[in-house]
Amino acid sequence: MTVETKMALTEQDVRSFSEKMNEAAWMTDFRADAFAKLEQLPMPKPDKTRIDRWNFTDFPIHAVEGTVVSSLNELPEEVRALFSEDKEQNVYVQHNNTPAFTSISEDLKAKGVIITDIFTATREHEELLKKYYMTDGVKVDEHKLTALNAACMNGGLFVYVPKNVVVEDPIQAVFFHDDEQVSLFNHVIVVAEANSSVTYIENYMSTVTEAKGQANIVAEVFTGDNAQVTFGAVDVLPTGFTTFVSRRGVTGRDSQLNWALGLMNDSDTIAENITHLIGDGSHSDLKTVVVGRGKQRQNFTTEIISFGKNTNGMILKHAVVKDESTVIFNGIGKIEKGGTGSNAEQESRMLILSDRARADANPILLIAEDEVTAGHAATVGRVDPLELFYLMSRGISKEEAERLIVRGFLEPVVSELQSEGVKKLLSEVIERKVR
Give residue-wise pLDDT tens across range 353-398.
Answer: 999 999 999 999 999 999 999 999 999 999 888 988 899 999 999 8
Residues 286 and 314: their CA atoms lie apart, in Å, by 6
- Read off the pLDDT band of 2 (50, 70, 90): very low
pLDDT, position 321? 97
Residue predicted with more confidence, 84 or 291: 291
Q: 90-124 in b/e burial notation, b at 16+ Cβ within 10 A?
A: bbbbbbbbbbbbbbbbeebeeeebbbbbbbbbbbe
The tens digit of pLDDT for each residue in 140-170 reads 999 999 999 999 999 999 999 999 999 999 9
Residue 256 has pLDDT above 90, yes or no: yes
The tens digit of pLDDT for each residue in 64-120 reads 999 999 999 999 999 999 998 888 899 999 999 999 999 999 999 999 999 999 999
Residue 284 has pLDDT above 60, yes or no: yes
Q: Beta strands of 267-421 (E only): which ranges?
A: 268-277, 283-292, 297-306, 312-321, 326-335, 343-352, 358-367, 373-382
In sequence order, the 6+-apart residues with CB closer than 8 A to the CB of 108 are 90, 115, 165, 167
Residues 215 and 186: their CA atoms lie apart, in Å, by 8
pLDDT, position 99? 98
pLDDT, position 86? 80
Q: How many Cα atoms sit within 13 Å of 215 on the Cβ side? A: 29
Residues 311 and 308: their CA atoms lie apart, in Å, by 6
Q: Are 54 and 214 in contact (CB under 8 A)?
A: no
Residue 4 has pLDDT above 80, yes or no: no
Task: Provide the mean pLDDT of the chain.
Answer: 95
Number of neighbouring beta carbons within 10 Å of residue 68: 13
- Three-point CA angle 16, 19, 24, nearest 5°: 140
Residues 65 and 99: their CA atoms lie apart, in Å, by 9
Residues 419 and 316: their CA atoms lie apart, in Å, by 21
The tens digit of pLDDT for each residue in 388-434 reads 889 999 999 988 888 889 888 888 778 888 778 888 889 999 989 98
- Read off the pLDDT band of 6 (50, 70, 90): low
Q: Read off the pLDDT of each residue in 336-353 and give the average, rounded to a whole number.
A: 97
In sequence order, the 6+-apart residues with CB closer than 8 A to the CB of 352 are 321, 322, 359, 380, 381, 382
Identify the CA nearest to 421 among candidates 186, 75, 68: 75
Q: Are 392 and 402 in contact (CB under 8 A)?
A: no
Q: Read off the pLDDT of each residue in 42-65 and give the average, rounded to a whole number.
A: 95
pLDDT, position 7? 78
Residues 402 and 379: their CA atoms lie apart, in Å, by 18
- Alpha helices by DSSP H, 384-419: 385-392, 398-414
Domain ranges of the chain: 11-279, 383-434
Dihedral over Cα of 96, 99, 101, 103: its sign: positive
Distances (CA, A) of 401 to 13, 42, 290, 319, 429: 54, 46, 20, 18, 18
- Read off the pLDDT band of 138 (50, 70, 90): very high
pTM for the structure as a whole: 0.96
Which 8-state DSSP code applies to residue 62? S
pLDDT, position 1? 31
Q: Read off the pLDDT of each residue in 45-62 and give the average, rounded to a whole number.
A: 95
Q: Read off the pLDDT of each residue in 23-46 and give the average, rounded to a whole number.
A: 97
pLDDT, position 153? 98
pLDDT, position 88? 85
Identify the CA nearest to 164 among candidates 197, 129, 115, 189: 197
Residues written for the chain:
435
Range of weakest confidence among 87-91, 94-98, 231-235, 261-265: 87-91
